[in-house]
Structures are given as C-alpha cells and as structure tokens.
Structure 1
C-alpha cells in the first residue's frame, strides 16, 4: 500500500465526506481495479515509446470512472508524465469549441512539481535543460553572450521539435517570454504565458510585443496543443495525459452543440496517433456511447470506437475499456482499507466499533436502501462509512451497532433518476436522427 502523508489522508477523507473523488491518495484504497489499471499502464507505455493514443472509459453511474481516471493520472505522474484533468460542463466549457478545451487543459496542466497551471514551470525546466546542455559542452554561463546562445538553441529546438506544425505565433510567444524573463520583466512574461494558455484577457499592447494579434481560436488550438506537448517532452517529461471526464454531459446540450461536440471527439480520435507521447482518456456512460443521440449517432466515430463484447467477455485493449460495477465484496474491501488509513487516536476502539461485522451490515443496509442496485451505492456508501468513522472518533459512547440506521437521502440527480428507473438525459425524440459529419475545428 502507498505510504500517505497526513495531508494526503486529510484530503482523502475531506473529499469523501463531500461525496467527491479525492485527487490524490486514492491508490491507497483502490481495490478490484487491477485489470483496467493494467490496461491504462499499457497505454502509458505506448505513449512513453512515442505513440499517440486515445482510450474511452465506459461504465454506468457508480462504476468508478472518475476514480479510475484520477488513478490513471497519479500513475502517469509517477511514470514521469505531465497531466491534465478536464470535466465536461455546459456552463463554462463548450466542448464544441476546442479553444475552450485547450484553455481548460492548460489551466489544469499538472506535474509532480506544480499541481496546476504548470506551463510556466515546464518552460523554465526546458530552458534550464538547454542551459545545462550548453554548460556541459564547455560554454561559460557567466559569459556576456551566454543568454544569446541559449536563445539561439531555444529557437533551433522550437523549430525542430514542432517540425513546422506549431503556429508561428506559438513560437514567437515562447521566444518573447524567454526574452522578457531574461530582462527581468516577469509581469509581461506572465501575461504572455496567460495568452499562450488560452486567456482572452491579455492586453493588446502586451501581445504586440510578441507580434501576435487576437486570441487562440478554435481551429488553431490543436496545433497549439502540439507545441505545448513538444515543450513538455523537451522539459524531460515522458509525455502528456489528458482526461476528459463526464463526456455524457454532452447529451444534455442543445442538438447543434451536441453534434459539433461529437464531431470534435471524432477529430481528436482521428488525430490522436499524430501526437507522439499524448494520451487522451475520455470517460462516459453506456448511454453516451450507445445511443443515437450520442456516439452511435455519428457513424465514423462509432465505427472507430465501437464496444465489442462476446457473451460476458470484452477485451480490455479495445477502444472502450469497460468498468464493472461495484459488488458487495469490493465495497467491503474498500471500507476496510479506509478504516486502516483513518487517522484515529484510539485505533483499537475504532476497529472494535467499525468491525467487519458492522461493515457487512453497512454494505447490506446501503445496498438495500438503493433497491439492491450496488452500482448506485459507492458515493453514498463511502459518505456513510466516513460519517460512522467520524462519530466513533468524536464520541466516546457512540456505538454504531446500536445507533446506526440507513436512509437514502441527499441524493444526486443521477441517483434519483436511477432509483426512479429513468434516463438522466433529456433529449427530444426529434433529435434521434444520425449526426451529420462535419469538421468543427
């Protein structure tokens, strides 16, 4: 089991109390997911060897798609990748606009050294590697022209790394950021970095210093991502892993936005192999993949990533990686792992009160409360478990075996829909026609 810091443990339990998937520490209680985790490791190996790949995590509500995606990012960073975790939203993320996706990817860009907005740190690391390489071949870092030599090497590397496929504005901005930093103008350098990350709020006077106009557009954003990817690798990282979580949110968009969003995914899938070292990881429900208002309605995308199953068997290596619902045994194992890492002052009492007998009872009562649908249970179950751990820790006379009784409350919209036996998407029947293929970027 992974050794957790006290800060990690606190983060895990605070997240679970709120019904959220923790961003770190989850490998300490990730049980029953060894096979899909192994397949995602295979994708990382492919990317580390210079391949560009795309994978789709498929599972119903409560199957742990977000958990597995978060775990994949932790594994990726442990293997030297930079990562980004983006949640599809119909509020602040229009998936049919790739400049929105690019901006989110860069905002959430993360490494082990920088948890968010890591492009500036990555760029500094790349420049540091250039300086170290020059010093290694005898250049004097104290020489008056050392910065000029670094600048020349930076220009040469930018040209060779991007192979002419990154926009010229991208190259000019990176060069200008270096010049501004060397001149001590960190404010202007930071503003240009914000522009490079997709911000639309950079003053035109700052952009003019780098010879650029306007903002990064939807049709250019994938090319800018290519440039970022090459800098990530030049900085010493194995590659980049991008998670697009909750793709089923697209089903709730207006028909025109939904069609364009699905066409955008098709274009990403078609182009994935031409981005060496980049892994795209999408999560979605079976309804998203199989319904005619989802992936199945866009024939070119559906044919490429169709889910194949022979009886009860499905290959892990196909485009869609199916996640199995939780069962009672897996819930029990997760509960015992969490009990093990819970920061108790009196561990003997905690393990006596939250015994395996009580854990079994908790599994039974929560599952029964959701009409036996274990797939709906995990979020509620974990909140119930953590609440019982907290009560035992806080109250010396609390006995869960005599006090506890489960009532399914504080349900999310998805949980309410599932218990009622209805679909969570709200798509008009007239939108069931096949989705026209178009290039939106």
Structure 2
C-alpha cells in the first residue's frame, strides 16, 4: 500500500475540493475527472472513435443507457473534457419540463438557449464561449489574409481580401437549411468587428443566442426579419457545426442528459412530437445530412425501452435502435447507436475508492491510514446490504465512502473497521437508517417487482 501511496498523482487542493464536494453531493465534478476515472475503457474508446468521425466531416449519434447513478453523467463529462481538449466546441443541456426538443410553450427554443449558454471550448470550459468563437473566426480570417495574401491590416486591399475569404465561408454555409440567414448575421458581426461597433456585436450575439422573441423585435434592432424559433433551432445548430470548422475548430459536440423528462410528458401526442425530433436528428447524422456534428444523449433503460411511453413507443425509433440477436449474453456492440452501461466491477470500484481515499487525505492534510483490507471490507459490506443487487450504484457507494472518510477525519481515534461493521451499512439501499426504514423496505419488497422498478425510475 505504501508504494501505491507514493506513486499516486498529487491532486491540487482546488481540484480535490471540487471532486470530493461534487461526489458527496451526488453530482459529477466538472474538473479532475482523469484523477478518478476507472473502467469504461470500451465505452470511452467507442465515443472517441465518434469524435474522429466528426473531425473528418462526418456526424455521429449515440445513446448512453444506464440506471440513475450508474455513471452516464460521468461518462458524458469525460467525453466533454476530452472533446474540448482536442479543439472541439461542446455544448450540453439537461432536459426538464421547461426544456424539451419540441413544445407549445417554447420548450424547444429553451433547450437551444441552454445549449448556446453552455457553449464551451478548451480556453473557456465553463460555458459562455459564443463571443469567443465569433471573435476567433474574425481573427482567423485576418491572420489568413496577413499570412497567405501578404497584406498588412493597414494595406489598401486588406479589407477587400478579408471580404473575399468571408464570402467563401458564406458560400459553404448558405447551401444549408437556414444557412443564408445564418451567413447574413455572421456578415453583420464581421462588419461590426471591423468598425469597432460593440453594440451591434452584442445585438448579433443576442440573435445567435435565440433571445429575440419576435421578428418585429429583430427587425427593429438588427434590420432582419428572421429569428431562431421553436421549430427550426436544430437546423441552426447544424449550420453552427459547419461554421465552427471554418472558425478553426474540429466540430460541435452536443450532450443531452435526463431524457427521462420526455418519458414523463403526460400527453402522448407531445411525447411523440419530441421523439420525432430525435428521429430527425438521428436520421440526419446517419444519412450524411449533418457535418462536423456529434450528438450524445443519456437516459435510463426504461426511458429508452418502455414500449408504452419510452423511445421504443415510437416505432420508427424502436426499429432503428433495438439491438440485434447476436448482442446477447454479455456481448455488447460498441458500434451500435445505443451503448448500455454495465455496472463497474468490484475490482474497478476498489481502485476508485482507493483513489478517493488518497485525494481525501491530500485535501484535508492527513496521512491516510485506511488499509486496502478495510476498503475491501467496506465494499463487501455495501454489496451485502438489502437491495444492493438491484439498486446499488456507484453513486451510492461513493457517497457512503466519502461520508466514512469524513467521519474518520473528524474522529482521529476511531477505526474504519468499527464503522464498517456498524449498523449504518446494514440499512437497505436508498432507505433512511433505522427500524422505520426496515419496515418501509419490507413493505416495498412485497410489491410486484415491475411496479417497484416503475416508480424507482423517478427517484432522481
């Protein structure tokens, strides 16, 4: 163990604090993921292959399917960080009752706004990178004119040479649906940049963010009779992906989580409209109608496979996404559109908790005393709890372990084995501690299994 502690990478306290606090709160940290990534090699390799496809001008679409706490969001965040590190632009959004793909109350446009708000690059990883991207595009054009055409910014033909190059980019974009409108606004942004008109740049940025509610408002402020709306926002994202390549990036990666919020839509017709929008995105990527665009969506098994309310209730999607006869018995096709996340093995979880023990000790400045034998005993106790075989996920294990480390840190005289052998790990999974919890678990166990699963999907 001492050898492992000596070779463990030192985690900066700022990052260590984010890792520990995020995991204890049940959410995925935005930074520091390489320090705690274990397993998922096959899934990560498959998604990285998709990035290479997007980089070459293609498009990809994947669903990540797993129970709550199984690691969907963690994997999405891992791919997000890798994509940004490889010069992709990434945008992500969690669906909610207010954010869908389609809706009568502007829910589709709300999703677009969230995606653009979270637009991120390597140099702006926390979102809000829209202006950075637009300014880089203008700067790249200026650099090309200077380096390739040999014209200084104050040369007589400099602006004409810039316009010629910009028009070439516009020609590529205008061939796409809504490309002409998009190109028109890009041209406005370029002119505003050249003239130093920050107010006009802000108005154009407002348009790209989808914040104009009516055409009248856009006409009054920008002189254009077009706005991004609830029905066509996805078309503009496709145009944006092509533009990003011209701006010097590799492409656009869109990450959508919490598909369960579509499953929860009570109106069947509204659900079908949203599933139809997903089908459009899926078809575009596979049929070559989108370029430099990758889409990854995360959902629970029931959200995808339920034939009454899930994606499989829409026959056109079910026929495309359902796995074939050979992907059975533990054999997974990582090139299929749906990637099912298998549980982490006990060995992978052991590596994970060991990493967390080192990070926790480094964060709070104490010498780690918990042994590998105690870590094994902790995991054994976790998986012996009532309901662990069907309900225990990495999220619960990690949360319990960080709580264990916190208690040991605050009570130096206490031993890990005494806590692990105590009563708190014997409580049913996802149930409060005590006799009331045991009574509640016994009552729920008496219900049919399918009913229990049906309701557990909504325990976010």
> What TM-score bracket applies, with the shorter chain setting the length?
0.7 to 0.9
Tell me the CA shift for residue 349 of structure 1.
3.1
- State yes or no: 1:276 paired with 2:291: yes
Q: 2:80 aligns with which of 62, 73, 77?
A: 73
Contact 2:64 2:341 in 1 (8 A): yes
* Cα distance in 2 between the residues matched to 1:242 and 1:297: 24
Name the TM-score, length of structure 1 as normaliser: 0.86
What is the CA deviation profile of residues 39-83 of structure 1, one whole-angstrom value per residue up to 9, with x for unaligned ones?
Answer: 111111111122111111122233211111111111212222111
Tell me the CA shift for residue 199 of structure 1.
1.7
* Stretch deviating more after TM superposition (175-184 or 317-326): 175-184
**Which residue number corresponds to residue 390 of structure 1?**
406
Q: CA RMSD in A?
A: 3.0
Name the TM-score, length of structure 2 as normaliser: 0.83
* Cα distance in 2 between the residues matched to 1:165 and 1:412: 52
**Which residue number corresponds to residue 437 of structure 1?**
none
**Which residue number corresponds to residue 14 of structure 2?**
7
- State yes or no: 1:108 paired with 2:118: yes
* Cα distance in 2 between the residues matched to 1:163 and 1:154: 15
The alignment partner of 1:283 has SS state of strand
| Counterpart mapping for 1:132-147 below 5 A | 132-136=143-147, 137-143=149-155, 146-147=158-159
**Which runs of 5 or more residues in structure 2 are unaligned?**
1-7, 433-440
* Cα distance in 2 between the residues matched to 1:241 and 1:209: 31
* Stretch deviating more after TM superposition (136-145 or 30-39): 136-145
**Which residue number corresponds to residue 186 of structure 1?**
198
- State yes or no: 1:367 paired with 2:383: yes
Tell me the CA shift for residue 253 of structure 1.
0.8
- State yes or no: 1:245 paired with 2:257: yes
What is the CA deviation profile of residues 331-361 of structure 1, one whole-angstrom value per residue up to 9, with x for unaligned ones?
Answer: 21210122233352787732x1x22122222
Tell me the CA shift for residue 247 of structure 1.
1.2
Cα distance change on mapping 1:101 and 1:412 into 2, 3 Å: farther
Cα distance change on mapping 1:288 and 1:178 into 2, 3 Å: same
The alignment partner of 1:241 has SS state of strand
* Cα distance in 1 between the residues matched to 2:387 and 2:252: 42
Cα distance change on mapping 1:385 and 1:183 into 2, 3 Å: same
- State yes or no: 1:221 paired with 2:233: yes
* Stretch deviating more after TM superposition (155-164 or 119-128): 155-164
Cα distance change on mapping 1:20 and 1:418 into 2, 3 Å: farther
* Stretch deviating more after TM superposition (188-197 or 126-135): 188-197
What is the CA deviation profile of residues 166-222 of structure 1, one whole-angstrom value per residue up to 9, with x for unaligned ones?
Answer: 343322222222222333332342232122121246995665453323631123212
The alignment partner of 2:253 has SS state of strand
The alignment partner of 1:165 has SS state of coil
**Which residue number corresponds to residue 439 of structure 1?**
none
* Cα distance in 2 between the residues matched to 1:149 and 1:6: 50
The alignment partner of 1:274 has SS state of coil
**Which residue number corresponds to residue 232 of structure 1?**
244
* Stretch deviating more after TM superposition (205-214 or 13-22): 205-214
Tell me the CA shift for residue 411 of structure 1.
4.5
- State yes or no: 1:290 paired with 2:305: yes
The alignment partner of 1:357 has SS state of helix
What is the CA deviation profile of residues 218-250 of structure 1, one whole-angstrom value per residue up to 9, with x for unaligned ones?
Answer: 232122112211221112211111111121221
What is the CA deviation profile of residues 114-148 of structure 1, one whole-angstrom value per residue up to 9, with x for unaligned ones?
Answer: 12021211111111110000001211212366345
Q: 2:25 aligns with which of 3, 10, 18?
A: 18
Equivalent pairs, count:
422
**Which runs of 5 or more residues in structure 1 are unaligned?**
428-441
Cα distance change on mapping 1:335 and 1:258 into 2, 3 Å: same
Q: 1:94 aligns with which of 93, 100, 108?
A: 100
Cα distance change on mapping 1:144 and 1:22 into 2, 3 Å: same
Q: 1:344 aligns with which of 358, 362, 374?
A: 362
What is the CA deviation profile of residues 13-62 of structure 1, one whole-angstrom value per residue up to 9, with x for unaligned ones?
Answer: 12012111112222221112111111111111111122111111122233
**Which residue number corresponds to residue 330 of structure 1?**
348
**Which residue number corresponds to residue 416 of structure 2?**
400
* Cα distance in 2 between the residues matched to 1:389 and 1:174: 53
**Which residue number corresponds to residue 263 of structure 1?**
276
What is the CA deviation profile of residues 257-296 of structure 1, one whole-angstrom value per residue up to 9, with x for unaligned ones?
Answer: 2111111111110111321111111112221222112122
The alignment partner of 2:384 has SS state of helix
* Cα distance in 2 between the residues matched to 1:2 and 1:84: 30
* Cα distance in 1 between the residues matched to 2:225 and 2:189: 16
Contact 1:192 1:207 in 2 (8 A): no
Q: 1:165 aligns with which of 171, 177, 186?
A: 177
